[in-house]
Amino acid sequence: MTFAADTAGTWTLGDLTVNRIGFGAMRLPQQGQAFAPGAVPRDRDQAIAVLRRAVELGVNHIDTAAFYFSSLRSANELINRALAHYPDDLVIATKVGPARDSSGEWLPMATPRQLRGQVEENLRQLGRDHLDLVNLRVGGLDSITEHFAVLAGLRQAGLIRHLGISNARPEHLAQAQAVAPVVCVQNAYGLGYRRNQDALLVSCGEQGVAFVPFFAIAGAGREAGAGGDEPEEVLAIARAHGAGPVRVRLAWALHRGPHVLVIPGTGTPDHLEDNMAAGALRLTPDELARLDVVHRAAQER
């Protein structure tokens, strides 16, 4: 059975309504671990086919960045090639702050003056005249006020529609909100991973701000992807639903609140459809309680 992205419902980012299951483009440019030296570029036609299939399944929220690239592939270029002319309801979220040089090496966090160039780079690569959503990815900054003010100015100029923050702490959210409206917080989070984000997730919901977890599947595996042994409770619940553990992990994240938007990424059609099916997986109160025990125990180790 094929499931669509709208099975988990919708959320509104500012004035843009998106399905709660989106798509993360980080894995599109290469096979295996993202950002790994010498990573093998993914087949271009396959990556384009996955993007088009995602939209066919109702995905209207795609997360990307100019620094998502391999030696031959750029996520933004693939999105442009696959989806332009863009569907009217498609929201493309990108990130600025970090950058990589042409060899793939990471550069220092962008200065406020460099952010406009990063925004314009995303515009060029995506073939857009404005960006739907730009997240400032915080990289070791105690204060983001100056950086966020630059993005707020670009929003006023019409280059950006909505703003968010990524890899952020609660104080960063307060700093950003003092400058301009924030529609989302995008942080690493998942079952048994980064439980210290629990309070921020709840706070975002209380304020009407979307919480967008990345690594919701991979957890501590991060860019390398999911790996290692799954807790028996996860496997047991997956068996009870005739599903795999990935679907259970995504469903658990979606159950954390109606403001939680997941952005699982993949380069294969089969994995894409399995991710979409997570929206239709309804976990029982007992199953959620058992998974919460797993979540808390993993953080205590």
Measured between alpha carbons, how far is 82 from 265 in angstroms, rounded to an integer?
A: 16
For residue 84, what is the DSSP state? P
Sequence letter at residue 66 = A
Q: By the 8 A CB rule, do 95 and 118 touch? A: no
Cα 12 from chain centre:
16
Catalytic position from the list 68, 86, 189, 193 = 68
For residue 298, what is the enclosing H or E element? helix 285-300
Q: Is 68 a catalytic residue?
A: yes
Q: How far is CA 47 from CA 29, 82, 97, in A?
A: 8, 9, 26
In 185-219, which positions are buried (b, 16+ CB within 10 angstroms) versus exposed (e)?
Answer: bbbbbbbbbbbebeebbeebbeeebbbbbbbbbbb
Residues annotated as catalytic are 68
